[in-house]
Amino acid sequence: RPKVEEDSKYLFMTFKSLNWNEENRCLDEEQLSFILLDKTVLSFQEIPGDQFDQIRTRLNTDGSIIRTKEVDYLFYRLLDVTVDNYFEILEKLGDYLEEIEDGIMHHPTAQDLEKIQENKKDIMQLRKHIYPLLGVYGMNFDNMPELRWHYGYFYIWGFMIVVT
């Protein structure tokens, strides 16, 4: 169950994340959890090897921006990469649907219908995760109180993730 919990010493966030399974050509769901402390970010996940590989590489590179900034920047990057991953999933899913469409046009099979049904479920699951993001990117308010909160950005993302 998605959750955001704030205390004077930490911010805890847990939610489901989606990953594209290239082998099975479907979406896998995993639980992600983050704890933001004063000078530390702890992250927990179920599946090794994922969208965070690029962040791990940057953390292991001397002088990288992610190592020179404060811990809240790392937390931001973890959330940002998670959201960006949804758009990569959309591309991969779109490519797979084009393959199915090409197969149907040349020699349709009953298996193609099963693939379409499976992908319909994946699209609905992905939509459930992405839909709340539309609210943030569609806002054009001049005065948003969250902009003055120290962790306002993270609260808003946490709220949106919890809603999904």
Query: What number is the average pLDDT over the span 7-33?
Result: 88
Query: What number is the average pLDDT over the span 112-136?
Result: 71
Range of the domain at 51: 3-163
Contacts of 14 (CB under 8 A, 6+ apart): 1, 2, 3, 31, 32, 33, 34
pLDDT digits (tens, 9 = 90+) for 48-69: 777 898 999 999 999 999 999 9
Q: Looking at the 3D structure of the chain, how many domains does it have? A: 1
**pLDDT band, residue 137 (cuts 50/70/90):** very low
Are 66 and 58 in contact, with CB atoms under 8 Å apart? Answer: yes
Which residues are registered as beta bridge partners of 126? none
* CA gap 32, 79 in Å, rounded: 10
* CA gap 146, 154 in Å, rounded: 10
